[in-house]
Structure 1
Amino acid sequence: MPKRRPVAANLDLFKDYQPAPVVERYVEGSVRAYDLAGRLSKAVAKTLEESGMGRAEVAKAMADLLQDDMSKNMLDNYASQAKEHVISALRLFALVAVTGDPRALNMLLAPAGMIVVPAKYEPLIEREIAKEELDRLQRKINAADAAWRAGK
């Protein structure tokens, strides 16, 4: 049977399809700086820039979440490499929670070999860990069976 040739009029629905990333990261080189504090400042600035919210609005939402003082000027300082202010862990948490953007956390965790993934993926991760354990146990069973047979 001859091979079917693709018809030019048919569209490839998946040709340009790109699935959404599971782990959100900044575009390579977009948060480059001399040191980690500088990279964090750039990450805060990028998150604020792409959040679709004004800095005053973000600061207000962070203040409400933390029940703490937070101002637009503080966010401006955290987003500036020229300032000596580095965002605290609690305020970084609030920034991530308010903007829904975990990329700054992923940037900080990358050197430690860790990532932030959405909670909805936890059961899948647990399943894969259980499958690895099951494979390990099956290899152990197979080795014991082989040893038993060899001993007869």
Structure 2
Amino acid sequence: MVKSRGDSLTGDLLSWEPPKVAAGFDAGAIRGNRLTSQISQAVALALKQSTMSRAEIASAMSVELGYQISEHMLANYASEGAEGHKISLERFIALVEVTGCIDLLGFIAERFGQVVVDRKYQALINVHLADEAEQKIQKFKAAEKAKWQAI
């Protein structure tokens, strides 16, 4: 169906994209082979995507962790050139909590061939896995019945 000029109800079906269900940064957003560099890029993306300023992020992380985190520290974590300043796991977790950047979790999971999905999809995934198991059982039963009938 062609969308007429005055038609505001039809919508452009060809421009539809499925919603993002797995956490992670866009393909190509993190480059290079060195893990240290990739982590710095992921931190930089999280800081850039946040609606909070770096000062606000540092302050909230300080409260979360119970010790001082400065803007300068965040800048170093996000800098590929700051070799001696790597973010620790506890600070990485605080960064996720403060910024809400779940894509950071997807960045880690992706390295292991896994994805991070919202808990609301867990039941749907379990139903799908049960359906797959049920299909395997049905195929097994059919094969066994065929063997029995061949005797």
Q: In 1, Cα distance between the equivalents of 2:3 and 2:46?
A: 45
- 1:5-84 correspondence to structure 2 within 5 Å: 6=2, 8-9=4-5, 10=7, 12-13=10-11, 14-84=13-83
1:44 offset after TM fit, Å? 0.4
Amino acid at match of 2:114: M
Q: In 2, Cα distance between the equivalents of 1:6 and 1:75?
A: 51
- Name the stretch that deviates more: 141-150 or 67-76: 67-76
Unaligned ranges ≥5, structure 1 = none
Whether the 8 Å CA contact 1:23–1:116 is kept in 2: the answer is: yes
Q: In 2, Cα distance between the equivalents of 1:110 and 1:90?
A: 20
Whether the 8 Å CA contact 1:41–1:78 is kept in 2: the answer is: yes
Amino acid at match of 1:26: F
Whether the 8 Å CA contact 1:63–1:69 is kept in 2: the answer is: yes
Indicate the SS of the match to 1:57. Answer: helix
- Name the stretch that deviates more: 21-30 or 45-54: 21-30
Higher relative contact order (CA 8 A, sep 6+): 2
Aligned residue number for residue 98 of structure 2: 98
Unaligned ranges ≥5, structure 2 = none
1:51 offset after TM fit, Å? 0.5
Indicate the SS of the match to 2:144. Answer: helix
Report the TM-score when normalising by structure 2. 0.84
Amino acid at match of 2:90: L
Whether the 8 Å CA contact 2:23–2:115 is kept in 1: the answer is: no
Q: CA RMSD in A?
A: 2.1
Q: In 2, Cα distance between the equivalents of 1:134 and 1:67?
A: 50
Q: In 2, Cα distance between the equivalents of 1:7 and 1:120?
A: 35
Whether the 8 Å CA contact 2:24–2:105 is kept in 1: the answer is: no
Amino acid at match of 1:55: R
1:78 offset after TM fit, Å? 0.7
Q: In 2, Cα distance between the equivalents of 1:30 and 1:96?
A: 18
Indicate the SS of the match to 1:8. Answer: coil
